[in-house]
Amino acid sequence: MELKESLKNLVFKKSELKQSVFRSTKDTFELFRTTTRELIQQFRERCVAEGKTVAFEFTDRGDFEFEVKFAGDILLFMMHTNVFEFSRDHQVMKSPYIREDTTRSYCGVIHIYNFLADSFAYQRDNDLGYMIGRVFVNREKHYFIEGKRELGMLYTNFNTSVVTPETVLGIVESAIEYTTNFDLLTPPYDEVKLVSVGEMRTNFDKKSLVTGKRLGFRFQADNE
């Protein structure tokens, strides 16, 4: 049996492409890690200098995850280990940049989630977090962001947006800004007025009742 040349070329070409995308995404994620750690250190030093009591913490959670905690919030950055392609209907696929070379549409993804710090501190496993943005990175380190407000509105030009230390710093700062402005609101009364005996027995605050910044509300930026 002889290996078909066309099949061999397809497999090798696609594999090399995905490996290239993975390396570019991993490099970008490490830049996010370094930039975020340095920014949090600057916040910490400023707090000390000005006598502030706001806590800023950076925690590594392995090769593909890290988190930062500030005030009552946590931002969790996670890199997916797989490579994705945009659907044919996605607006990115209509750009001249992709039409010139369709391999540019293959991307790695970095997710940015926001959680309440108390959700982890008190092991409230039913609490909700929110993905406030996801960063797509291709083999040429062009990037595109889908996200909420500050993130989603500022970083949408896949043709010209290239990963640099300055652009990554801007994304991290925007994520912190959005999270700080994304306040915890009380849910509608009718949605929380009934509590079962079982929920009370398993600890009202810790396990049973769900807490989230927009529980019972539409996500604020969904209408914008």
51 burial level (CB within 10 Å; 0-12, 13-18, 19+) = exposed
Q: Where are the beta strands (DSSP E) in the chain?
A: 56-60, 65-70, 73-79, 84-85, 106-116, 130-137, 143-147
Which residue is listed with tokens 């390396």? Answer: 23
The 10s digit of each residue's pLDDT in 31-40 is 999 999 999 9
> pLDDT (tens digit, 9 = 90+) per residue, 72-106?
899 999 999 999 998 888 888 988 999 999 999 99
Mean pLDDT of 55-83: 95
Task: Tell me the two tokens of residue 44.
Answer: 């910490």
Residue 151 pLDDT exceeds 50: yes
Tens-place pLDDT, residues 5-25: 888 788 999 999 999 999 999
Per-residue model confidence as pLDDT tens digits over 100-133: 999 999 999 999 999 998 888 888 787 888 898 9
Please determine, for residue 46, whether its predicted confidence score (pLDDT) is greater than 90. yes
Assessment of whether the complete model's pTM goes beyond 0.85: no
Q: At residue 207, does pLDDT exceed 80?
A: no
**Paired strand residues for 13:** none
